[in-house]
Amino acid sequence: MDQTNSRRRFFAGAATAVAGLTVARSALATLPEPVIQTSVNTAPPLIPNNGRPYNPVVTLNGWTLPWRMNNGVKEFHLVAEPVEREVSPGFKVNMWGYNGQSPGPTIEVVEGDRVRIFVTNKLPEHTTIHWHGQRLPSGMDGVGGLNQKAIPVGKTYMYEFVARRPGTFMYHPHADEMVQMAMGMMGLWVTHPKEKHPHISDVDRDFCFLLNAFDVEPGTKTPKINTMLDFNIWSWNSRVFPGIDTLNVRHNDRVRIRVGNLTMTNHPIHIHGHEFLVTGTDGGPTPPTSRWYEVTTDVAVGQMRQIEFVADEEGDWAMHCHKSHHTMNAMGHTVPTMVGVDHRGLIKKIQKVSPDYMLMGERGMADMGEMEMPIPENTAPMMTGQAQFGPVEMGGMFSVLKVRKDQKPGDYSDPGPYKYPAGTVAQEYTGPLSEPARLRSEISSGKAANDKPSPATVMNAKKPNSHSGH
C-alpha cells in the first residue's frame, strides 16, 4: 500500500491552486493520518486488529480504509482529491476520488460502532459526502445546503454517527453531484452484524464492487461531465475488462457478492454455471421466505444487491452485465451497420483516397477481437481480452469467476486458466452430415430454405438515433 502524499493533478487552470491546498501536518495532528492507495490491484482483506471482530470483505480492484480507535470511536480520514485511475492496461483517466483512487476505499464497521469520519477537501471546488442508505442524524446526511454547509476548498469537516444496521451501503457527494459523480467520486460502506443474525449467513468469500460509468472520448483522459445517459466506458470499480480482476474461490466455498449501482441506468448482473439467491438489498438482509434462485439479478440506479451461492461447479465462469453494449469499451455510436454489404471492387478505390481505410463489419464485428486495429493513444480496445482458446471479444463490465478445488482458504490469487478434463470441451464434429429437415410448406412449394425472399418481402429496419435510456 502506497502511503505517499503525492497527488497526480490535472485541470491546468486549477493545478496551482490545488497544489497549495495540502493540509499541514501540524493541522492534522488530531486527525488520523490519511492513508493513500495508488495500486489498482485487488487488495487482500483487511483483518481488524482492534475494535469488534468481523469477517472482512474483498473489494474488487480496491481496498479497505484503515482506521484508528479513539476512546471507543472508530475514526477514518477521507481525502477528496483529483486522481489518475488506470481503467485498463494502457488506458488512464483523470478522475476525482478519495485517498488516491476512484472509487474511494471501502469503509468497514460493525453494527453499533460509533464512527467518526474526517473529510479533507482537496478538490478545486466545494463538496460533501452523503452516506447512501444509512440511518443517521439528519445533520450528518451530507446534502449540501439542506443538511450542512458544503465543505470549502482546503477545509476538513467531521461526520459522526452510529452504524445502526448491518448491510452494504455507498457514499458519494451531494454537492455538484452530476459533475463529481461523473468524475468518479463514490465508495462502498459495509456494516457487519455485531452478533449472529438470522438472515445473514456465514460465508467463505465476501466480494464487493461498484458499477460506475464514464464518457471518455477516444484519445482523451478527462471524462465529459455534461453527459446524461450516453456513456461509453462501463466499468466495475472504475476498471474495464480485461483490467477487472477475476473472482477466485475454492470449490464448495459459500460466496457472497455485493454490487452497488451508481451509474445512470440499470444493470442485469449475470453469473454463468451457478444459481444464486438475492440475500440483501439497500434495505438490509432479505428474509429467507422472500428469496428464490436466479442466474441474473437487475440492479437499478442507486440500488445495491447482495447475492450468495455455493461455488460447486469447477471451471472458469463468465460474470457480466447482460446488456450487450455494456460488455464493450469505447464503442462508436455512429458506426454504420455493414453486415452483408459487398465491398468487392470498392476497397481499393477508397484506399486510393484514404490509404488507412479498413474494412469493418462486413461479416459481423467478431474480426475486431483478433485484429490489431490502430486506435488513438490512451484508448481501451472495443472488443478485447485473450483466454486459452483465443479472443474473448469482451470489454467493459465483464470478469471471470474461477472455481478451483486446490484454491486454498484465504487465497485470492489468480490460479490461471482452468485445466479442463478430457472430453469436457466443445469441439468440431467431423462425422457425416445429414440433409436438414424441411418444413412441409417448403417441400410442397418447391422452395429451399435458403432461397432468397422476393423483393416484396424484404423489410428495412432503422434503429433510433439516440442511445437514451441505456
Sign of CA dihedral 326, 177, 279, 113: positive
Residues 13-71 have pLDDT tens digits of 333 333 333 344 444 558 999 999 999 999 999 999 998 999 999 999 999 999 999 99
Asked whether residue 463 is domain-assigned, the answer is no
Asked whether residue 356 is domain-assigned, the answer is no
pLDDT at 35: 96
Rg of the chain on CA atoms, in Å? 25
Asked whether residue 82 is domain-assigned, the answer is yes
What is the CB neighbour count within 10 angstroms for residue 344? 7
pLDDT at 381: 83
Asked whether residue 123 is domain-assigned, the answer is yes
What's the total number of domains in the chain? 1
Residue 389 has pLDDT above 70, yes or no: yes
Asked whether residue 77 is domain-assigned, the answer is yes
Measured CA to CA, the distance from residue 111 to residue 118 in angstroms comes to: 20
CA distances from 384 to 242, 303, 371 (A): 7, 29, 10
Measured CA to CA, the distance from residue 179 to residue 173 in angstroms comes to: 10
Domain span including residue 125 = 12-194
Beta strands 398-404; 247-250: pairing state:
parallel
Query: What is the domain-level CATH number for residue 33?
Result: 2.60.40.420
Asked whether residue 451 is domain-assigned, the answer is no
Question: How is 164-177 classified by DSSP, letter by letter?
Answer: -S-EEEEEE-SSSH
Indicate the SS3 state at residue 233: strand
Residues 68-114 have pLDDT tens digits of 999 999 999 999 999 999 999 999 999 999 999 999 999 999 999 99
pLDDT band at 373 (very low <50, low <70, confident <90, very high): low
What is the CB neighbour count within 10 angstroms for residue 470? 16
Asked whether residue 232 is domain-assigned, the answer is no
Structure-block grid coordinates of residue 351: 484506399
Asked whether residue 226 is domain-assigned, the answer is no
pLDDT at 332: 53
What is the CB neighbour count within 10 angstroms for residue 126? 18
Coarse DSSP helix, strand, coil percentages of the chain, rounded to the nearest 5 percent: 10, 30, 60
Indicate the SS3 state at residue 285: strand
